[in-house]
């Protein structure tokens, strides 16, 4: 894979930009060959023979040569090169080798942020997404949403045509309408014109916004995100007086206290956070390196799962805990520093406030002790759900502990906040909005229900919505315009810390959409409506750099060191003291008669934007292992109290609004706190996402945006089938996930070369005499269970989705799964994640039992599955102790999900768009064959081919360690998966296998797996651990 | 247990076995057995056959749906890759054991009482093996590629995997089917000749003529026939043991707790004989009622079969308890759990049915009264069949449902296609059985006659063939 400079601007510049077909790709050679550029190019390319072609006296030989060359490349019709008129490769560009993928750097816009990626394209067809190794927010890794984004690009349900009052229309019709309509608005200086965009952090869009402010001064711009960072911002305002953006340096933190922050899960920047956090869990490098994580939260999160100590509290009481912690800390620092400063005033106030909730005293005392011992090396952070006061107090404590500048960096955003959805709804209600342009946002679905956005939207005379899908909002708007996917258009973006990166197209809009930039530029008559131009202007404006730097910017996918400046800020103690005094008027406590309901971003669909993505729908939630649904999560104790079981249909009523949701009894959930993941219950998502799960936005109001108390819960008496991929959470006393405390690990004896006495195989194994011996290590101490590997594997290996019914039957196809086990008590368990794919046993039980030799071993130690030899007896799957083999029960690739059982007369065939996503290096399996993890054999072979070519014919070649990276390992944000050549004693994987905490899963069976695991090492606070046991027995 | 009753006495007059067929005479016997084939069908036959055929067509429909759509139409999943398919396969192969056991082993052991039932039991065996063969064929994902199982030379030089018990299965079952068929057919030749000789219509003469392979009943024929039959019996005997031993290897050689058990070969063979005899009883009791064969298949026959049933029930019961003991004694976590799960897990009800039907209820057969009351015996035999089906189901499914990693535990729930396939194959079995009853002699005439008392005189209408046969037979027996 070569990471090559994309879109050489010189080449683009060489082509006349006046060509109207800028957004269209040619479909026939005739069309193309008639263009003057072609003639011109032809003359350049073949100055001697051009006359033959142009003059009409083409020799047969010449004509055939030309035709063959042209058709051969035209045959790659999928091979729409990105942007601008492209010509067939009669001369292959230097960077393109047919059959070898090319990677382009681009960026996925995210709410208030972005995610930098490299997109692997196969002859112009984006097929796979990897993280951008040059960008600090990725460092080569991705999360599962980034992995799945490529499927959205090829979603056949994406909006294809312009709709006017739900009737098909055209872009021309819209342009004509816009021309006249905007003329009127220009005349009124934009009076009554409102824009509603997503909270995209794009300098190019900022440029356009400035333009709008100039030419249409009366127009108002609003931004809306269902899961926004208002609390973070307001918290910063409360603490520092201005909306500073905190970014964290987990690599510097010895002690971390997370207050409902899922910084390793759904919070923005989780990939970078995970990398930095995981760096501090590498006990081999140094025992002192190990950090300690305390998590206080109401529902189990990815972060909570890896915590050394986790305190379950209703989301509303997290604040109480922080107040208690702050009191303890400030009182103690006052003792140290003497009294009289502003902190003691706050401390006094905090003493006055008291704590109405019974908190485990040791949790306050010991955490404070730990934090004080790690001044400047500790970190307190709060989740987006938590109210501004929690964020402000966290800032304050960080300041008090000397963490600002060490573990917490504060950055200043360039643009003031734009107006919110609430303000827009107010204007709409007052009838001030004449024209509303919605850019990508879907407020009819995800706005707080008390705004009644869908109702007030009807009062707006002119509504225009640009959307990737004909969604809930499109249905309520007069105009719906198909939006180009971010892999189809030019743009730019900034991550939440301000690091600047480009959005560049990888393919011409497949379904004829336009980007938000283009739509706004056209509507508001910007000097250029060409997004590429806009982006270049925006780049020059933001950076003052030239074309060469722009090229580099596109190549790298990031402008290095472009994050917003770090500012020093001192907390405003007085304001905080006032805010804390306010707290005394707090609401009733959470309890059995006053249940709490909290909303959080679904770990897969986030706010619901990915609802039509089958990969994400089918990815099991890391904690609940639920697919294709959300559910109201209750703790076992609360469920028992209410007489509720998993699968009972509940009716939740909050402030007069009711919603039916299935119950899921989840160990680790806080008592009396019910959590509903957002993002489900879509009605206009598409064929995949429609009607999946329930819609918690119906209960969500501006008052209870993140949490609310007093939810009424009623059993409807109905039951609902929840498709879980793992029903058993206990390890049954088996040592599957091994874990140790840091102390135990320190005392661990060195590994003995065990005689492995009972491992006498019945048969002589296949000769393992290949030049390479592939192996893998999965470090359970690094793994957070985030499941990015699952989607990465699905994307790389053409793994089909099977649908909810099939998951219910236990037929999900994921080659790698993340097993989740609970340890300890049912109410307050520890969580352990274990990714399991084929472990490539040297003595593989599957191989001996296959009657047709379809499961065989390679000399390099790969356990191979030969699809065209397999007849599907399923014996191998039965005999696999790891249960990692997956059978194609139906033709999942050929039958739509609702046609699986429809017999021989079912409609068959894969939509052409979806075919384009498939990785050409991996067979698409038919029904009746078994499949499983191959260690990404196609990547191994590619690596070998490259190495052989480099060795240039010499028989001895070597593959440098780290050249071959399977999709799972590449995606892993924690770098928990290490792959390599075991025959090379210096390879990372071989080195890692010598560690004391290396073990083989079910190794006692004598399977001799090539994948081994590294046991977990937890770093509990001994004093807290001791008291926890006491408190548990007391309680 | 009074299995090896006495050393056979060779002079027919005092042959103790003749007591079992007291009052029978050659002519009446011939009339009775050949008459079934020659007379118009009894009134119940056609409705019974059509019903069976209708049910069998369900199997055809289910299999067509399965093959055209995918194995997913069954309830199998990950981790339960085999369920009804292999359960039914093992069930039918097990039933197929009684025939060869009765024919071959009891023949070699000179258990002459077998003669009244062996033909019937052999036919049942063949049909059961045919029914069993349906499942391995259709259960695979790509039926059209099933020829990969055959060791045919091909361009890629890929052979089947000779380490795979499934391949051993292919050989074991196909060998067993072939030998059983030969054994059954060879044994039937003299009787087919009788039918030929008695045939009055041209088609019957031709068809039975062809099937009788020119049998004339000469001493030479009889001589060769006896040798061939003896050899085939000798050949079939190890197969009785080998087939189910190899079927059990499917499980025993795997690593799955609950499957990986060294006791499986004898356990499966005992179970197979158990279920086979149960099926013979289940079918024989109504058949002898319907065709009035009570003097041929006497209560004493049933009594003996009941005793075999009791003996094998005890063996099976022993195997069950040894399994549990081994699991406990091994102190192996997974092994212990597998049996704990079998006893108390989600399929505990299946295990309870299995123990009840296979071990508890057959104990009633200790009572002579129970063995003598035909319909009680019938009910017990049906229950044994149910119990043996559940034995296979419990072994296969409960072990797969919960193996090593609790994360991948699952459940198996059959679909309507599973059930229709199973029911339909029963329909196929009964259809074949009814065809057999209609068109072939259901009792081995020549063999029964050999143990009849010598006729005091030849009666008119008795064919020469039969008298010569009886005389020559007696001579030969004495000579040997």
Q: Which residue does chain B place closest to A819, by CA atoms?
A: B407
CB contact under 8 A, B72 and A811: yes
Q: Looking at the domain assignment, is residue A316 inside a domain?
A: yes
Residues A845 and A974 in one domain: yes
Nearest to A730 among B75, B139, B406 (CB): B406
Cβ–Cβ < 8 Å for A627, A669: no
Q: Looking at the domain assignment, is residue A616 inside a domain?
A: yes
What length is written for chain B?
480
pLDDT of residue A92: 65
Q: Which residue has the higher pLDDT, A825 or A82?
A: A825
Residues A793 and A703 in one domain: no
If pLDDT is split at 50, 70 and 90, which confidence band does A31 have? very low
pLDDT tens, residue by residue, B213-257: 988 888 898 899 889 988 888 888 888 888 889 999 999 999 999
Q: Is A764 on the interface with B (CB under 8 A)?
A: no
**Interface-testing mutation among B67, B74, B78, B396, with chain A (most A C-beta atoms within 10 A):** B78
pLDDT of residue A1030: 54
- Domain count across chain A: 4
pLDDT of residue A588: 59
pLDDT tens, residue by residue, B296-319: 788 888 888 899 899 999 999 999
pLDDT tens, residue by residue, A844-886: 999 999 999 899 999 999 999 999 899 999 999 999 999 999 9
Question: Above pLDDT 90, what percent of chain B?
Answer: 42
Stated as kind and residue range, the H or E segment containing A198 is strand A193-198
Q: Is A924 on the interface with B (CB under 8 A)?
A: no
**Tokens, residue B146:** 């099933």
**Chain B residues near residue A728 by CB distance under 8 angstroms:** 406-407, 409
pLDDT of residue A752: 60
Nearest to B148 among A869, A927, A928 (CB): A869
Give A929→chain B minimum CA distance, Å. 6
Nearest to B141 among A733, A878, A887 (CB): A887
**Tokens, residue A558:** 């990031």
Q: How far apart are CA A731 and CA A466, in angstroms?
A: 49
Give A747→chain B minimum CA distance, Å. 27
Give CA separation, A91 vs A45, A94, A344, in Å.
9, 9, 75
If pLDDT is split at 50, 70 and 90, which confidence band does B84 have? very high
- Other beta carbons less than 10 A from residue A435's beta carbon: 22
As for the ipTM of the complex, it is: 0.88
pLDDT tens, residue by residue, B279-302: 988 988 988 888 878 777 888 888
Q: How far apart are CA A907 and CA B466, in angstroms?
A: 65
Residues A841 and A981 in one domain: yes
Is pLDDT above 70 for A607?
A: yes
Question: Is the sign of the CA dihedral B353, B358, B362, B363 positive or negative?
Answer: negative
Residues A713 and A787 in one domain: no
Q: Is A927 on the interface with B (CB under 8 A)?
A: yes
To the nearest 5 percent, what fractions of chain A are helix, strand and coil?
Answer: 35, 20, 50
Is pLDDT above 80 for A68?
A: no
**Chain A residues near residue B407 by CB distance under 8 angstroms:** 726, 728, 736, 817, 819-821, 834, 836
pLDDT of residue A79: 43
Q: Which residue does chain B place closest to A736, by CA atoms?
A: B405
Q: What is the mean pLDDT of residues A541-560?
A: 88
CB contact under 8 A, A871 and B146: yes
Q: What are phi and psi of A465, to 5 degrees?
A: -125, 130
DSSP B180-217: HHHHHHHHHHHHHHHHHHH--SHHHHHHHHHHTTT---
CB contact under 8 A, A881 and B405: yes
Question: Above pLDDT 90, what percent of chain A?
Answer: 34
Give A776→chain B minimum CA distance, Å. 20
Cβ–Cβ < 8 Å for A698, A675: no
CB contact under 8 A, A836 and B407: yes
pLDDT tens, residue by residue, A677-729: 999 999 988 888 898 999 999 999 988 888 888 889 999 999 999 999 888 88
Q: What is the mean pLDDT of chain B?
A: 84
pLDDT tens, residue by residue, B447-475: 777 776 655 444 444 444 554 455 555 55
Is residue B464 classed as helix, strand or coil in its secondary structure? helix
**Interface-testing mutation among B405, B411, B413, B418, with chain A (most A C-beta atoms within 10 A):** B405
Task: Give residue limits of the domains in chain B.
Answer: 12-479
CB contact under 8 A, B406 and A817: no
Which string of b and e fits B314-340 if b means at least 16 CB within 10 Å?
bbbbebbeebeebbeeeeeebbbbbbe
Q: Which of A668-682, A891-905, B146-160 has the lowest mean pLDDT?
A: B146-160
Q: What is the dihedral of CA A240, A246, A248, A252, to 10 degrees?
A: -30
Q: Which residue does chain B place closest to A802, by CA atoms?
A: B72
Which residues touch A727 (CB under 8 Å, ≥6 apart)? B409, B410
Burial of B158 (0-12, 13-18, 19+ CB in 10 A): middle
Q: Which of A165-179, A781-795, B99-113, B159-173 has the lowest mean pLDDT?
A: B99-113
Q: What is the mean pLDDT of chain A?
A: 84
Give B324→chain A minimum CA distance, Å. 19
Q: Looking at the domain assignment, is residue A233 inside a domain?
A: no
Residues A773 and A895 in one domain: yes
Nearest to A871 among B69, B76, B145 (CB): B145
Cβ–Cβ < 8 Å for B19, B9: no
**Chain A residues near residue B410 by CB distance under 8 angstroms:** 727, 810
Of A666, A696, A724, at which residue does a domain stop?
Answer: A724
Q: Looking at the domain assignment, is residue A918 inside a domain?
A: yes
Three-state SS for B52-110 is HHHHHHHHHHHHHHHHHHCHHHCCCCCCCCCCHHHHHHHHHHHHCHHHHHHHHHHHHCC
**Chain B residues near residue A929 by CB distance under 8 angstroms:** 141-142
pLDDT of residue A53: 45
pLDDT tens, residue by residue, A750-763: 666 554 545 566 67
Q: How far apart are CA A116 and CA A140, in angstroms?
A: 9
Q: Is A908 on the interface with B (CB under 8 A)?
A: no
Selection from A232, A302, A292, A265 nearest residue A143 by Cα? A265
CB contact under 8 A, A727 and B410: yes
pLDDT of residue A1026: 77
CB contact under 8 A, A874 and B82: yes
Is pLDDT above 80 for B269?
A: yes
Residues A255 and A394 in one domain: yes
Give B355→chain A minimum CA distance, Å. 25
Residues A704 and A825 in one domain: no
Give CA separation, A578 vs A349, A380, B162, in Å.
9, 21, 82
Question: Above pLDDT 70, what percent of chain A?
Answer: 87
Cβ–Cβ < 8 Å for A92, A123: no
- The angle at the Cα of A919, spanning A914 to A925, to the nearest 5 degrees, equals 80
Question: For chain B, give me the number of helices (H) and strands (E)?
Answer: 19, 0
DSSP A645-657: -TTEEEEEEETTE
CB contact under 8 A, A811 and B405: no
Nearest to B333 among A729, A734, A886 (CB): A734
If pLDDT is split at 50, 70 and 90, which confidence band does B354 have? very high
Q: Which residue has the higher pLDDT, A85 or A391?
A: A391
Pick among 3.40.640.10, 1.20.1630.10, 3.40.50.410, 3.30.360.10: CATH of B12-479: 1.20.1630.10
Q: How far apart are CA A436 and CA A446, in angstroms?
A: 17
pLDDT of residue A58: 53
Q: Which residue does chain A place closest to B72, by CA atoms?
A: A889
CB contact under 8 A, B82 and A872: no
Question: Above pLDDT 70, what percent of chain B?
Answer: 89
> Domain range spanning residue A641?
595-724
pLDDT of residue A883: 93
CA B65 to chain centre: 29
Which residues touch A312 (CB under 8 Å, ≥6 apart)? A297, A298, A635, A668, A669, A670, A671, A827, A828
Strands A673-677 and A596-600: parallel
Q: Looking at the domain assignment, is residue A1035 inside a domain?
A: no
Is pLDDT above 70 for A60?
A: no
Cβ–Cβ < 8 Å for B77, B439: no
DSSP structural state of residue A672: T
Q: How far apart are CA A382 and CA A703, in angstroms?
A: 19
Q: Which residue does chain B place closest to A625, by CA atoms?
A: B407
- Other beta carbons less than 10 A from residue A4's beta carbon: 15
Give B377→chain A minimum CA distance, Å. 38
How far from each other are the two terminal CA atoms of chain B, in whole angstroms? 29
Q: Looking at the domain assignment, is residue A508 inside a domain?
A: no
Cβ–Cβ < 8 Å for A469, A157: yes
Q: How far apart are CA A952 and CA A947, in angstroms?
A: 9
pLDDT tens, residue by residue, A310-348: 999 888 888 888 888 888 888 888 776 654 566 677 777
Q: Looking at the domain assignment, is residue A778 inside a domain?
A: yes
Q: How far apart are CA A161 and CA A168, in angstroms?
A: 7
CB contact under 8 A, B69 and A890: yes
Q: Residue A292 forms beta bridges with which residues? A: A255
pLDDT tens, residue by residue, A915-967: 888 998 999 999 999 999 999 999 999 898 888 888 876 777 888 888 899 99
Q: Looking at the domain assignment, is residue A227 inside a domain?
A: no
CB contact under 8 A, A845 and B139: no
Q: Is A867 on the interface with B (CB under 8 A)?
A: no
pLDDT of residue B100: 81
Say which CATH number the domain at A714 has.
2.40.40.20
Is residue A465 classed as helix, strand or coil in its secondary structure? strand
pLDDT of residue A758: 54
CB contact under 8 A, A853 and B161: yes
Q: Residue A661 forms beta bridges with which residues? A: A650
pLDDT of residue A585: 59
pLDDT tens, residue by residue, A497-535: 889 999 999 888 888 889 899 999 988 888 888 889 899
Question: Is the sign of the CA dihedral A686, A689, A690, A695 positive or negative?
Answer: negative
CB contact under 8 A, A806 and B139: no
pLDDT of residue B10: 38
Q: Bin A22: left if φ > 0, else alpha if -120 < ψ < 50, else beta.
A: alpha
CB contact under 8 A, A928 and B333: no
Looking up tokens 């007369």, which residue turns up? A905
Cβ–Cβ < 8 Å for A885, B67: no
Is pLDDT above 50 for B17?
A: no
Is pLDDT above 60 for A132?
A: yes
CB contact under 8 A, B80 and A849: no
CB contact under 8 A, B140 and A834: no
């Amino acid at each position: 894979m070569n990471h090559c400079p994309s879109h050489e601007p010189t080449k683009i510049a060489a082509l006349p930009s006046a060509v109207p077909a800028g957004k269209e790709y040619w479909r026939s050679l005739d069309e193309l060959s008639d263009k003057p550029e072609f003639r011109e190019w032809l003359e350049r390319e073949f100055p001697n023979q051009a006359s033959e072609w142009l003059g009409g006296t083409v020799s047969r030989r010449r004509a055939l040569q030309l035709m063959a060359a042209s058709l051969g490349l035209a045959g790659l019709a999928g091979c729409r090169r990105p942007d601008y008129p492209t010509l067939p490769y009669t001369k292959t560009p230097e960077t393109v080798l047919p059959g070898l993928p090319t990677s382009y750097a681009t960026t996925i816009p995210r709410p208030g942020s972005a995610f930098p990626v490299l997109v692997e394209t196969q002859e112009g067809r984006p097929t796979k997404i990897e993280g951008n190794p040059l960008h600090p927010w990725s460092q080569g890794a991705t999360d599962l949403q980034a992995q799945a984004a490529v499927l959205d690009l090829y979603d056949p349900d994406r909006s294809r045509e312009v709709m006017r009052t739900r009737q098909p229309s055209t872009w021309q019709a819209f342009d004509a309408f816009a021309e006249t309509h905007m003329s009127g608005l220009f005349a009124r200086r934009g009076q009554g014109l409102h824009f509603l965009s997503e909270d995209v952090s794009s300098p190019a869009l900022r440029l356009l916004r400035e333009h709008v402010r100039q030419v249409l001064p009366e127009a108002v711009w609003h931004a809306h995100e269902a899961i926004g960072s208002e609390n973070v911002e307001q918290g910063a305002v409360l603490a520092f007086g201005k909306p500073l953006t905190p970014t964290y340096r987990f690599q510097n933190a010895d002690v971390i206290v997370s207050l409902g922050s899922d910084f390793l899960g759904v919070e923005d920047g989780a990939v970078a956070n995970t990398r930095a956090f995981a760096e501090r869990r590498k006990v081999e490098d140094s025992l002192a390196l190990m950090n300690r994580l305390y998590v206080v939260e109401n529902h189990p999160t990815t972060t909570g799962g890896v915590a050394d100590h986790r305190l379950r509290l209703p989301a509303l009481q997290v604040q109480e805990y922080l107040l208690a912690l702050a009191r303890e800390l400030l009182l103690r620092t006052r003792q140290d520093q003497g009294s009289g400063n502003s902190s003691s005033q706050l401390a006094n106030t905090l003493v006055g406030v008291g704590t109405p909730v019974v908190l485990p005293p040791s949790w306050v005392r010991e955490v404070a002790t730990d934090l004080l011992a790690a001044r400047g090396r500790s970190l307190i952070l709060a989740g987006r759900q938590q109210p501004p006061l929690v964020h402000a107090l966290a800032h304050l404590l960080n300041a008090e502990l000397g963490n600002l500048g060490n573990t917490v960096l504060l950055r200043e955003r360039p643009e003031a906040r734009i107006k919110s959805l609430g303000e827009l709804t107010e204007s709409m209600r007052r009838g001030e909005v004449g024209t509303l342009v919605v850019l990508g946002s879907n407020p009819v679905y995800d706005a707080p229900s008390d705004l009644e956005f869908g109702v007030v939207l009807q009062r707006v005379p002119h509504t225009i919505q640009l959307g990737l899908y004909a969604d809930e909002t499109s249905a309520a708007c007069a105009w719906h315009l198909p939006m180009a996917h971010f892999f189809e258009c030019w743009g730019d973006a900034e991550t939440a810390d301000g690091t600047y990166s480009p959005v560049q197209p990888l393919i011409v809009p497949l379904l004829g959409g336009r980007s938000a930039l283009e739509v706004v530029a056209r509507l508001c008559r910007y000097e250029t409506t060409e997004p590429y131009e806009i982006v270049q202007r925006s780049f020059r404006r933001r950076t003052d750099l030239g074309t060469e730097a722009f090229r580099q910017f596109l190549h790298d996918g990031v402008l290095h060191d472009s994050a917003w400046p770090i500012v020093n800020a001192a907390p405003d103690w007085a304001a905080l003291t006032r805010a804390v005094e306010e707290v005394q008027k707090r609401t009733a406590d959470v309890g059995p008669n006053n249940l709490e309901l909290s909303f959080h971003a679904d770990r897969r669909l986030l706010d619901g934007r990915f609802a039509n993505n089958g990969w994400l729908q089918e990815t099991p939630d890391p904690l609940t292992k639920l697919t294709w649904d959300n559910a109201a999560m209750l703790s076992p104790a609360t469920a028992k109290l209410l007489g509720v079981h998993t699968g009972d249909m509940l009716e939740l009523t909050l402030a007069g609004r009711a919603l039916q949701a299935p119950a899921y009894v989840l160990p680790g959930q806080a008592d009396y706190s019910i959590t509903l993941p957002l993002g489900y219950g879509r009605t206009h998502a598409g064929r995949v996402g429609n009607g999946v799960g329930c819609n918690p936005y119906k209960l969500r109001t501006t008052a209870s945006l993140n949490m609310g108390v007093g939810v009424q819960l009623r059993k409807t008496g109905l039951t609902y089938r929840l498709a879980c991929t793992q029903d058993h959470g206990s390890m049954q006393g088996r040592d599957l996930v091994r874990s140790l405390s840091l102390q135990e690990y320190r005392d661990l004896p060195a590994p003995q070369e065990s005689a492995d006495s009972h491992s006498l195989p019945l048969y002589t194994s296949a000769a393992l005499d290949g030049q390479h011996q592939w192996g893998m290590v999965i470090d359970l101490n690094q793994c957070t269970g985030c499941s990015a590997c699952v989607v990465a594997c699905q994307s790389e290996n053409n793994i089909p989705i099977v649908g909810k019914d099939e998951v219910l039957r236990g037929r999900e196809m994921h080659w790698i799964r993340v097993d989740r086990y609970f340890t300890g008590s049912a109410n307050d368990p520890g969580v352990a994640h274990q990714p399991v794919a084929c472990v490539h046993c040297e003595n593989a039980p599957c191989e001996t039992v296959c009657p047709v030799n379809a499961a065989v071993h390679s000399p390099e130690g790969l356990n191979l599955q030969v699809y065209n030899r397999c007849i599907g007896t399923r014996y191998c799957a039965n005999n696999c102790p790891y249960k990692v083999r997956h059978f194609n029960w139906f033709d999942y690739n050929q039958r739509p999900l609702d046609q699986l059982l429809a017999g021989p007369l079912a409609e068959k065939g894969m939509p052409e768009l979806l075919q384009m996503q498939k990785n050409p290096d991996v067979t698409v399996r038919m029904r009746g064959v078994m499949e499983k993890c191959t260690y990404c054999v196609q990547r191994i072979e590619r690596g070998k081919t490259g190495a052989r070519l480099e060795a240039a014919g010499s028989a001895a070649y070597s593959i440098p360690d780290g050249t071959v990276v399977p999709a799972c390992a590449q995606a892993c944000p924690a770098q928990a998966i290490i792959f390599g050549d075991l025959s090379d004693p210096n390879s990372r994987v071989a080195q890692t296998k010598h560690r004391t905490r290396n073990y083989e899963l079910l190794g006692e069976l004598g399977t001799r797996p090539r994948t081994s695991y590294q046991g977990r090492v937890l770093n509990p606070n001994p004093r807290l651990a001791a008291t926890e046991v006491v408190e548990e027995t007391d309680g | 247990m009074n299995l090896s009753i006495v050393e056979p006495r060779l002079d027919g007059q005092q042959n103790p076995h003749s007591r079992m067929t007291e009052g029978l005479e050659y002519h009446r016997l011939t009339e009775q057995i050949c008459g079934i084939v020659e007379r118009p069908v009894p009134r119940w036959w056609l409705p019974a056959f059509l019903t069976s055929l209708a049910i069998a067509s369900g199997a055809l429909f289910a299999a067509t749906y399965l093959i055209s759509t995918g194995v997913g139409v069954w309830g199998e999943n990950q981790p339960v890759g085999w369920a009804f398919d292999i359960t039914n396969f093992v069930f039918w192969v097990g039933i197929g054991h009684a025939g060869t056991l009765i024919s071959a082993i009891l023949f070699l052991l000179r258990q002459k009482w077998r003669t009244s039932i062996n033909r019937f039991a052999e036919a049942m065996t063949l049909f059961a093996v045919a029914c069993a063969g349906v499942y391995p064929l259709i259960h695979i994902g790509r039926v059209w590629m099933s020829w990969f199982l055959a060791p045919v030379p091909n361009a890629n030089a890929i052979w089947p995997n000779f380490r795979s018990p499934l391949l051993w299965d292919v050989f074991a079952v196909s060998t067993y089917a072939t030998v059983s068929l030969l054994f059954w057919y060879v044994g039937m030749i003299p009787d087919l000749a009788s039918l030929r000789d008695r045939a009055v219509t041209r088609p019957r003469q031709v068809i039975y003529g062809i099937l009788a392979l020119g049998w004339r009943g000469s001493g030479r024929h009889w001589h060769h026939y006896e040798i061939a039959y003896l050899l085939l019996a000798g050949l079939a005997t190890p197969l009785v043991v080998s087939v189910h031993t190899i079927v059990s290897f499917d499980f025993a050689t795997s690593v799955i707790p609950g499957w990986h058990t060294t006791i499986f070969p004898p356990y499966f063979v005992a179970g197979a004989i158990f279920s086979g005899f149960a099926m013979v009883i289940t079918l024989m009791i109504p058949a002898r009622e319907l065709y009035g064969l009570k003097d041929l298949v006497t209560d004493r026959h049933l009594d003996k079969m009941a005793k075999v049933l009791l003996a094998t029930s005890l063996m099976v019961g022993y195997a069950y308890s040894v399994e549990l003991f081994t699991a406990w004694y091994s102190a192996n976590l997974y092994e212990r759990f597998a049996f704990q799960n079998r006893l108390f897990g989600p399929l505990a009800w299946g295990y309870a049915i299995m123990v009840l039907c296979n071990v508890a209820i057959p104990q009633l057969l200790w009572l002579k009264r129970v063995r003598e009351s035909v319909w009680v015996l019938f009910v017990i035999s049906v229950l044994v069949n149910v119990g043996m089906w559940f034995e296979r189901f419990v072994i296969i499914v409960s072990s797969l449902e919960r193996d090593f990693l609790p994360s991948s535990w699952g459940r198996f729930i059959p679909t309507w296609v599973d059930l229709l396939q199973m029911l339909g194959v029963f329909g196929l079995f009964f259809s074949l059985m009814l065809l057999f009853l209609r068109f072939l002699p259901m009792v081995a005439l020549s063999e029964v006659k050999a143990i009849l008392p010598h006729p005091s005189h030849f009666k008119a209408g008795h064919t020469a063939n039969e008298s010569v046969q009886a005389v020559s037979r007696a001579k030969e027996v004495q000579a040997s």
